[in-house]
């Protein structure tokens, strides 16, 4: 490779792995992240989940149409995105469909109750069913963004990932953005070995999503955690906020914090 070609390759790699926001921080988004309306349990997760930096990396604006996949009744991103998009954009919560297990349906009902209890913030939220590609999560070609947080590993394990990606591709506008955050697996272990622990290799995720008709744009390290060794006895659920081992070595896992996560941005081809 020529010296010029090497320089161009290095610049391309730097751009693809950038952790810097693509625009100046949005003060309104910052205000919502800091707002007292957020539940304390969600706000406590901010040092690990970096909501403003993550949303700005994906490129979400207050005029965007955003589909969030399975926000759940806890609504970590819902309680930021729904009021942010209320006046000029649109927030769609792709939630459980009627065939979901009873515990998921109970959580879905809690989500509906939460939305109904605060119409000033959540009265314009659209709730649609989601399960793989069984339903349209938005009118075809209408969404600017489809965002999913810590769900990819579940769909891979259940054999639903191809269908889910088809539904996302169908909903997005040409050039629309798919944003994916999930627990990042180790490169020295196969995906099959790590699957039951909840971790997904970053290279595996990128290849899988590109095969579904998306182009990989960039990866951010905003949600990285170098302290996560990814070899915990109860998988990723050993760590906070789940603490599957209860009090066993709790201080140790609390010191590690939440999982190391990749933050990946794709566009619909």
The domain spanning residue 132 has which CATH number? Answer: 3.40.50.150
Give the Cα-Cα-Cα angle 190, 194, 199 (nearest 5 degrees). 115
Q: How confident is the model at residue 24 (pLDDT cuts 50, 70, 90)?
A: confident
pTM listed for this prediction: 0.91
DSSP state for residue 260 in the 8-state scheme: P
User: Could you give the 3-state DSSP secondary structure of residue 113?
Assistant: helix
Q: What's the mean per-residue pLDDT of the chain?
A: 93
pLDDT tens-digit map of 90-112: 999 999 999 999 999 999 999 99
Total domains in the chain come to: 1
Domain of 246 in residue numbering reads as: 3-268
DSSP state for residue 88 in the 8-state scheme: T
pLDDT tens-digit map of 155-207: 999 999 999 999 999 999 999 999 999 999 999 999 999 999 999 999 999 99
| pLDDT computed for residue 5 by the predictor | 40
User: Could you give the 3-state DSSP secondary structure of residue 171?
Assistant: helix
Q: Which residues, at least 6 apart from 181, have a Cβ–Cβ distance to it below 8 Å?
A: 54, 148, 149, 150, 223, 261, 262, 263, 264
């Amino acid at each position: 490779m020529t010296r010029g070609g090497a320089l161009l390759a290095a610049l391309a790699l730097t751009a693809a792995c950038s952790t810097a926001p693509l625009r100046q921080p949005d003060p309104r988004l910052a205000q919502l992240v800091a707002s007292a309306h957020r539940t304390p349990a969600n706000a406590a997760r901010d040092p690990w989940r970096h909501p403003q930096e993550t949303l700005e990396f994906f490129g979400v604006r207050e005029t965007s149409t955003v589909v969030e996949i399975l926000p759940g009744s806890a609504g970590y991103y819902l309680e930021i995105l729904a009021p942010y998009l209320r006046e000029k954009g649109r927030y769609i919560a792709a939630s459980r469909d009627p065939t979901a297990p009873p515990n998921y349906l109970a959580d879905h009902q809690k989500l509906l109750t939460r939305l109904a209890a605060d119409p000033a913030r959540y009265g314009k939220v659209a709730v649609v069913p989601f399960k793989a590609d069984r339903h349209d999560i938005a009118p075809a070609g209408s969404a600017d963004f489809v965002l999913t947080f810590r769900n990819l590993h579940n769909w891979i394990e259940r054999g639903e990932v191809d269908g889910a990606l088809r539904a996302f591709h169908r909903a997005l506008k040409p050039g629309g953005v798919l944003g994916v955050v999930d627990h990042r697996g180790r490169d020295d272990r196969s995906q099959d070995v790590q699957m039951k622990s909840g971790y997904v290799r970053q290279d595996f995720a990128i290849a899988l999503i590109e095969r579904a008709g998306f182009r990989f744009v960039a990866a951010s390290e905003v949600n990285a955690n170098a302290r996560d060794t990814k070899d915990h006895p109860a998988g990723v659920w050993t760590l906070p906020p789940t603490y599957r081992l209860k009090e066993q070595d709790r201080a140790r896992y609390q010191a590690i914090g939440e999982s190391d996560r990749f933050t990946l941005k794709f566009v619909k081809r």
